[in-house]
Amino acid sequence: MMFCLDFMNKRLRVDDYSGDIDVIYMRAVEIAKTHALTKVFIKSHEVDWQTFLSKGCMLEGIYKGYFNGRDAYCMAIYTHLTRRTSDYWLEEDHILEGVLLLPVKPDRPLLPSSMTMRLAQMEDAMQLSQLYSLIFQTYPTPMNDAKYVEKTMREGTIYYLIESSGELISAASAEINSVYANAEMTDCATLPAYRNQGLMRLLIHALEAELITRNVTCAYSLSRALSFGMNAVFYQMGYRYYGRLTKNCDIYDKFEDMNLWAKSLK
């Protein structure tokens, strides 16, 4: 079983597994209880998700094309009621309804002449960490730490950034899983003064083009369900909504529900 003990978000994430489903399920629950983790989510293969369902797991979303073109099913287990219960579900439904009414905008916007966009290098880690610390009060990973940003780069995450007059104003990343040819589009941040200019769509376009050259076939993202803007970016770029993960991670100042978006890059 390939898993991540995610203490920052009080959860156990099972990214892959093989063998007896009964054993895997019991082991996951045991690990979560041992470490006082309040959520488990398992990326289930298609042949197994109904078996997990029969054990009381909940299907929260589908990562379309996650396993080299085959779907992964997000099966959740909760060990505490407050973690299971969403505080904003109906408001998030209303936001999603508004997003799904928007026109799709697959074309790449123009970069304003006063700005430059490029692939980030290792020496940009400090600037990136400062941007994330400005934008997010809390975040699921320690992106406010330059050493951690460097570590993600060494492990294969790619970042694109936009600068204006030498100042970093917007960035996004793609965390690549080369084994299964997928990438999570994440770490999206823009300084408030530069929002609503299409910068995030520019960054996602650039990341997708880079991923295609690296033979990545599936791109997905988890967006704060309370954020109209980020959900709109992915919907307008041709990503489809495949579910909502309840109180999935600690972002801004609380555990938040995350919408799951996915897109084929084939």
Inform me whether the pLDDT recorded for 133 exceeds 80: yes
Asked if residue 183 and residue 141 are part of one domain, the reply reads: yes
**18 burial type by CB count under 10 A (0-12 exposed, 13-18 middle, 19+ buried):** exposed
**Please, how many CA atoms are within 13 Å of residue 202, restricted to the half-sphere of its CB?**
23
Query: Which is it for the CA torsion 129, 133, 136, 141, positive or negative?
Result: positive
Calpha distance 257→226 (Å, rounded): 8
Q: Which of 50, 84, 118 is the last residue of a domain?
A: 84
Q: Please, which pLDDT band fits residue 140 given cuts at 50, 70 and 90? A: confident
**pLDDT of 235 over the 80 cut:** yes
CATH number at residue 52: 3.40.630.30
Shared domain for 127 and 109, answered yes or no, is: yes
* 138/35: higher pLDDT: 35
Q: Please check whether residues 128 and 212 belong to one and the same domain.
A: yes
The answer, yes or no, to whether residue 161 has pLDDT greater than 80, is: yes
pLDDT of residue 190: 96
**110 or 160, which is more confident?**
160
Same domain, 44 and 99: no
Contact between 174 and 188 (Cβ < 8 Å) = no
231: left (phi over 0), alpha (psi -120 to 50) or beta: alpha
Same domain, 11 and 63: yes
Question: Does one domain contain both 103 and 43?
Answer: no
Last residue of a domain, one of 64, 84, 104: 84
Does one domain contain both 7 and 100? no
Do 75 and 161 belong together in one domain? no
Q: Are residues 208 and 117 in the same domain?
A: yes
- Give the Cα separation of 73 and 159 in Å (integer): 27
Q: Scanning the structure block, which residue is given the tokens 């390939």?
A: 2
Single out the residue in 34, 65, 84 at which a domain terminates.
84
**Pair (213, 196) in one structural domain:** yes
Residues 108 and 215 reside in one and the same domain: yes
pTM metric for this prediction: 0.95
DSSP 8-state symbol, 109:
P
- Residues whose CB is less than 8 angstroms from the CB of residue 159 and which lie 6 or more positions away in sequence, other chains included: 119, 120, 124, 128, 149, 153, 171, 172, 173, 187
Q: What is the pLDDT of residue 104?
A: 95
- Measured CA to CA, the distance from residue 230 to residue 245 in angstroms comes to 16
Same domain, 199 and 99: yes
**Residue-range definition of the domain harbouring residue 78:** 2-84
Rounded Cα–Cα distance for residues 22 and 194 (Å) = 50
CB 183 within 8 A of CB 172: no
Instruction: Pull the structure tokens for residue 45.
Output: 């293969």
Our count of domains for the chain comes to 2
Q: Scan for tokens 């041709």, then name that residue.
A: 238
What integer pLDDT is reported at residue 167 of this predicted model? 96
Q: Could you give the percent of the chain with pLDDT greater than 70?
A: 100
